[in-house]
């Protein structure tokens, strides 16, 4: 069993338990549930930089990244830096995140928030909406085409943007459907954890133009972004590069300034 299989098995157990503790109806009554739409897709289409900055405390591949900074400080720092949106890891066991991080991020910023999670059940989409997310992530590697269709359509019914993440051509071809807004290519091989932007480049021509193209993982330089923009990418998800510093917001500010110039 690889790390992804372990995470998904744990996620099924976690969601089953949470359903018994907090009913769906309770989530739907959240004060944030009827927030007006704040589209990351539109923000990326209208941006020259396309940075989606991430809050991530740790990961299975890198252990601790940054446990010291508060999510509120990171969120307000990213907004000041001019990021298009913010990705917040909410998985606890493997990434040290929580839904509380999402709600604290929401309190600190007005930019679109992505709930970065291993989504396997529509209950998690209700959670995302209730805790202030604007965008949800679906990972093709852990979902069938039928599940992607059901979850993406359910997300759209909640006025949530949908970012679908793929790692190879096979995942991309099974996933393309009208209920997606953005197609993200993860440059990290989930089996080896090796990172290369070559996968984003090779899949770029297979992604239809109606979807916003997002490149994820292993992006740490201005050159990498300038290079990927030539392949039609409008969004760039950057986490570790900012989070491994003492002040992620300041790092993002410096990076985005350099990108503008």
For the segment 219-225, the average pLDDT, to the nearest whole number, is 94
Q: What is the pTM of this model?
A: 0.95
Predicted confidence band of residue 4 (pLDDT cuts 50, 70, 90): confident
The answer to whether domain 3-260 has CATH 3.20.20.70 is yes
Higher pLDDT, 8 or 60: 8
The Cβ of residue 177 has, within 10 Å, a number of other Cβ atoms equal to: 13
Please identify every residue annotated as catalytic.
54, 56, 116, 165, 186, 216-217
Distance separating alpha carbons of residues 149 and 146, to the nearest angstrom: 5
Domain boundary assignment for the chain: 3-260
**The most confident of 128-132, 195-199, 243-247, by mean pLDDT:** 128-132
Q: How many Å is the Cα radius of gyration of the chain?
A: 17
pLDDT in tens, 185-220: 999 876 677 889 999 999 999 999 999 999 999 899
pLDDT of residue 193: 74
Asked whether 53 and 252 are in contact (CB, 8 A), the reply is yes
């Amino acid at each position: 069993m690889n790390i992804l299989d372990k995470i998904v098995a744990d996620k099924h157990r976690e969601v089953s338990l949470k359903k018994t503790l907090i009913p769906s109806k309770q989530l739907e009554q959240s004060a944030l549930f009827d927030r007006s739409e704040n589209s990351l897709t539109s923000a990326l289409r209208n941006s020259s930089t396309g940075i989606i900055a991430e809050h991530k405390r740790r990961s299975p591949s890198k252990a601790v990244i940054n446990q010291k900074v508060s999510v509120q400080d990171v969120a307000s720092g990213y907004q000041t830096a001019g990021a298009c949106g913010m990705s917040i890891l909410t998985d606890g066991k493997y990434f040290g995140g929580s839904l509380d991080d999402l709600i604290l991020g929401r309190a600190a910023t007005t930019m679109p928030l992505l709930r970065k999670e291993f989504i396997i059940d529509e209950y998690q989409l209700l959670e995302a909406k209730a805790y202030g997310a604007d965008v949800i992530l679906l990972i093709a590697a852990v979902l069938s085409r039928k599940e992607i269709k059901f979850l993406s359509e359910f997300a759209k019914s909640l006025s949530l943007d949908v970012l679908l993440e793929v790692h190879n051509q096979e995942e991309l071809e099974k996933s393309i459907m009208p209920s997606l807004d953005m197609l993200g290519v993860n440059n990290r091989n989930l089996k080896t954890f090796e990172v290369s932007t070559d996968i984003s480049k090779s899949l770029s021509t297979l992604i239809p133009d109606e979807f916003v193209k997002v490149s994820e993982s292993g992006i740490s330089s201005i050159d990498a972004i300038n290079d990927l923009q030539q392949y039609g990418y409008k969004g760039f998800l950057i986490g570790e590069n900012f989070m491994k510093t003492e002040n992620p917001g300041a790092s993002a500010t410096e990076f985005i300034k350099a990108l503008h110039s």
